[in-house]
């Protein structure tokens, strides 16, 4: 054993600490290795595999290493080859590729062809143009949404619908309980049912999505003992990495694989579990001893990445969560500089501040700007591009430019240049205060005389009396817009033509988030600032779309990294800026409604903090989009950690008797006992408004609100005082 560690030190210059060494040599039986950020997890895992081969004499083909993403699997394989160039490679893969192998062999044996119906945007387009929507998941869902709802699905709705489907499959939720899963997409359950039926409509050709590969693989291993035995006998040692991101169906597959030898090493960090919304099961780690009573649990707590200041504050911060293993991350790295909390005047100052900070920086690739939502990146990108600051966008999302709100604004501007195109008016006729009905629009389209659409409406289409004046005014407004600067034109569209009011109405009927749509409009106003003409604005949007595509290719270049917190996991930078750290974004309003969601938001914040090696700056502000916002409760936590006396100094006398739960004033009229809850009770929810209790099941309560149904944790509702009865009970 000593020879192995000595050889690794001499050959590779690697020295392990005591916990890492113990993790390497504990090869038999179940092991849960809890690895804090920057604790040398991958090095320890690769050393453990090397130890199995070189010291225990295990052939590499008998070892299976499963990780969460293809990038992680490739990274581990590359590092293994670098450590042990003379050894044949171990089987590194994702759980999906393993499941695919099981499913492929199963259908090959049955002689039944199958098709994987997943694809990127380009393949969506190709499949659509070829008319093969039944072989493309997103096109199938678009078709079904149109059929069931009667509208075209938006990209945001598509995201939510696919997440909903994936969540149900990864959680292995049976059909009869699908209705319990919250989804803001109209008729989501019905669309899902029809989607599953459509995939099974041809008994001679099976259609599968990525999640089907997992559920089917699990079923095959459950029902076919011969197949299960084949895979069990193939591997003697199993290792899973990033196991905090593993779903219930993935855990179930792995459990079956190791049930004979039980040589399972699970590497994870429950404090970095940030994917419960797509089915990850962080509670599985907390119950690991229930599944494997003889398991060893080891804590890798030494952080080799970050400065003393970052490690101390992050370690204290994450202790706000209760559903976790008690850990104490520490470092022997030197002190550098305190974490900075930067208070700006308002949201608009944020990108200006960052441009000023980074304008003359030399080592740009050592800097990251992290945010929760992709929408935060567009304004940044615009200002960085103008300032000539190069950037790499890890998860660049071009959908902003094709979003229906952006397209609406462009169509309003097109109408300013020509009001003779009914095809353009048709796209926006329900979104301004002309109140043109679908029937009136159809009558207008039939005219086709190349005259002003407004003149045609006024002369040839039957109108309500109130519409006449509105349409005359609208015609003049569009005419005046042609010579306006883009910023002024957008404000006229929003206020003068009533676009904001129209999308508010649409949001209520279709369940869109109005604050998100307003954010898009405000971003468009930022882009429009200082531009001279509507044509300049359209060209600027086209230019930024190209810039965004180019930004995807700048990995490894001397460029600043822009990334969501989620996509930044596993990365590290000398300097990190966490932006938009305000209440309503992180944590979001929905996070506030459930203590489990709030803890996940805290873990997401913790992931962002622990990306920083030496410098960490949290950027907040009191005003956004013309409204007052509060700094994130997580920022308040950090400030209290930095200065423990701060709470006593700053607490105003007038507030000293106000009870707060997670930074939110407690409502003394709220329901505080489970016994007070019953089906049929009308209540007011602090975030979702007026609703009615429709079901109480175990630890959860289902409430029907005006536009949606929500399943919430009873304990969170009671602890945080979220529900108030409409009538005294």
Residues annotated in the binding site for ATP, as ranges?
A: 35-42
Mind spelling out the 3-state secondary structure of 95-115? Answer: HHHHHHHHHHHHHHHHCCCEE
Can you list the alpha helix ranges (DSSP code H) found in 364-437?
376-387, 399-402, 404-417, 422-428
Give the burial string for 451-480 (b: 16+ CB within 10 Å, else e).
ebbbebbeeebebeeebeebbeebbebbee
SS3 463: coil
The first and second tokens of residue 146, run together, are 């149109």
343's enclosing H/E stretch is strand 340-343
Q: Report yes or no: 696 and 679 within 8 Å, Cβ to Cβ.
A: yes
Q: Report yes or no: 386 and 564 within 8 Å, Cβ to Cβ.
A: no
Which residues is 370 bridged to in the sheet? 563, 578
Can you list the alpha helix ranges (DSSP code H) found in 26-136?
41-54, 70-83, 95-110, 121-129
Q: Report yes or no: 637 and 609 within 8 Å, Cβ to Cβ.
A: no
The first and second tokens of residue 508, run together, are 């209520």
Instruction: Give the list of residues 6+ apart from residue 341 with CB closer than 8 angstroms, or none.
Output: 617, 618, 620, 635, 638, 639, 642
Residue 275, CA distances (Å) to 166, 245, 253, 665 in order: 12, 6, 19, 29
d(CA 94, CA 106): 19
Residue 108, CA distances (Å) to 197, 205, 208, 271, 303 in order: 22, 12, 14, 41, 48
SS3 304: coil
d(CA 319, CA 324): 9
Q: Report yes or no: 342 and 617 within 8 Å, Cβ to Cβ.
A: yes
Give the E-state strand segments of 348-400 in sequence order. Answer: 367-371, 391-393
Return the sign of the alpha-carbon dihedral for residues 484, 490, 495, 498. positive
d(CA 104, CA 216): 10
- Picking from 213, 208, 197, the residue whose alpha carbon sits closest to that of residue 249 is 213
- Picking from 473, 476, 472, 478, the residue whose alpha carbon sits closest to that of residue 459 is 472
Q: Please report how the helices 376-387 and 534-551 are oriented relative to each other, as an axis angle in degrees rounded to 10.
A: 100
Instruction: Give the list of residues 6+ apart from residue 728 with CB closer than 8 angstroms, or none.
Output: none
Binding residues: 35-42
- Picking from 64, 36, 49, the residue whose alpha carbon sits closest to that of residue 8 is 49
Q: Report CA dihedral (484, 490, 492, 493) to the nearest 10 degrees.
A: 130
d(CA 666, CA 587): 17
């Amino acid at each position: 054993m000593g020879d192995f560690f000595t050889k690794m030190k001499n050959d590779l210059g690697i020295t392990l600490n005591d916990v890492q060494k113990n993790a390497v040599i504990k090869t038999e039986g179940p092991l849960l290795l809890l690895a804090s950020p920057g604790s040398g997890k991958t090095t320890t895992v690769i050393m453990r595999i090397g130890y199995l081969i070189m010291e225990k004499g295990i052939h590499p083909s008998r070892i299976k290493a499963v990780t969460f993403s293809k990038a992680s699997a490739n990274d581990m394989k590359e590092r293994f080859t670098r450590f042990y160039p003379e050894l044949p490679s171990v089987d590194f893969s994702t759980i999906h590729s393993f499941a695919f192998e099981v499913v492929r062999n199963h259908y090959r044996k049955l002689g039944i062809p199958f098709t994987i119906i997943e694809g990127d945007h380009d393949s969506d387009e190709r499949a659509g143009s070829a008319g093969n929507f039944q072989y493309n998941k997103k096109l199938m869902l678009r078709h079904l949404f149109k059929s069931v709802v009667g509208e075209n699905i938006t990209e945001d709705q598509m995201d939510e619908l696919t997440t909903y489907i994936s969540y149900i499959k990864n959680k292995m939720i049976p059909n009869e309980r699908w209705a319990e899963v919250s989804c803001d997409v109209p008729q989501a359950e019905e669309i899902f049912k029809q989607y599953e039926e459509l995939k099974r409509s041809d008994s001679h050709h099976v259609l599968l999505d990525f999640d089907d590969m997992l559920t089917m693989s699990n079923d095959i291993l459950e029902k076919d003992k011969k197949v299960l035995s084949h895979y069990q006998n193939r591997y003697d040692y199993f290792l899973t990495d990033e196991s905090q991101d593993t779903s219930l169906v993935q855990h179930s597959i792995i459990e079956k694989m190791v049930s004979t030898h039980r040589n399972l090493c699970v590497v994870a960090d429950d404090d970095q579990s940030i994917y419960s919304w797509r089915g990850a099961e962080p509670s599985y780690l907390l119950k690991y001893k229930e599944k494997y009573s003889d398991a060893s649990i080891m804590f890798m707590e030494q952080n080799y990445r970050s400065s003393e200041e970052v490690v101390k504050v992050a370690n204290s911060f994450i202790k706000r969560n209760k559903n976790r293993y008690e850990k104490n991350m520490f470092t022997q790295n030197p002190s550098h500089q305190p974490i900075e909390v930067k208070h700006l005047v308002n949201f608009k100052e944020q990108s200006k501040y960052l441009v000023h900070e980074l304008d003359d920086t030399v080592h740009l690739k050592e800097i990251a700007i992290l945010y929760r939502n992709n929408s935060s990146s567009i304004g940044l990108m615009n200002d960085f591009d103008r300032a000539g600051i190069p950037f790499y966008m890890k998860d660049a999302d071009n959908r902003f430019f094709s979003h229906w709100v952006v397209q609406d604004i462009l169509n309003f501007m097109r109408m300013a240049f020509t009001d003779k195109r009914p095809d353009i008016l048709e796209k926006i006729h329900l979104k301004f205060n002309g109140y043109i009905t679908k029937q009136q629009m159809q009558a207008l389209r039939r005219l086709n005389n190349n005259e002003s659409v407004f003149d045609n409406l006024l002369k040839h289409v039957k109108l309500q009396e109130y519409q006449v004046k509105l349409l005359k005014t609208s015609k003049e407004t569009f005419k005046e817009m042609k010579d306006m600067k883009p910023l002024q034109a957008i404000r006229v569209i929003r206020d003068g033509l009533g676009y904001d009011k129209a999308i508010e109405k649409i949001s209520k009927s279709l369940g869109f988030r109005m604050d998100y749509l307003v954010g898009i409009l405000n971003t468009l106003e930022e882009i429009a600032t200082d531009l001279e003409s509507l044509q300049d604005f359209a060209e600027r949007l086209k230019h930024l779309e190209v810039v965004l595509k180019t930004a995807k290719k700048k990995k490894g270049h001397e460029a600043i990294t822009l990334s969501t917190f989620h996509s930044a996991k596993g990365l590290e930078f000398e300097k990190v800026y966490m932006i938009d750290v305000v209440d309503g974004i992180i944590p979001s309003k929905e996070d506030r409604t459930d203590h489990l969601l709030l803890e996940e938001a805290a873990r997401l914040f913790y992931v962002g903090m622990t990306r920083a090696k030496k410098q960490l700056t949290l950027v907040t502000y009191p005003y956004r989009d013309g409204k007052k916002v509060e700094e994130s409760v997580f920022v308040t936590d950090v400030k209290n950690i930095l200065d423990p006396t701060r709470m006593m100094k700053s607490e105003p006398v007038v507030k000293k008797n106000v009870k707060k739960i997670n930074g939110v004033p407690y409502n003394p009229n709220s329901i505080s006992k489970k016994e007070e809850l019953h089906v049929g009770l009308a209540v007011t929810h602090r975030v979702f408004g007026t609703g009615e209790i429709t079901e109480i099941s175990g630890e959860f309560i289902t409430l029907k609100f005006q536009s949606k149904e929500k399943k919430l944790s009873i304990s969170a509702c009671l602890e945080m005082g979220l529900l108030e009865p409409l009538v005294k009970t």
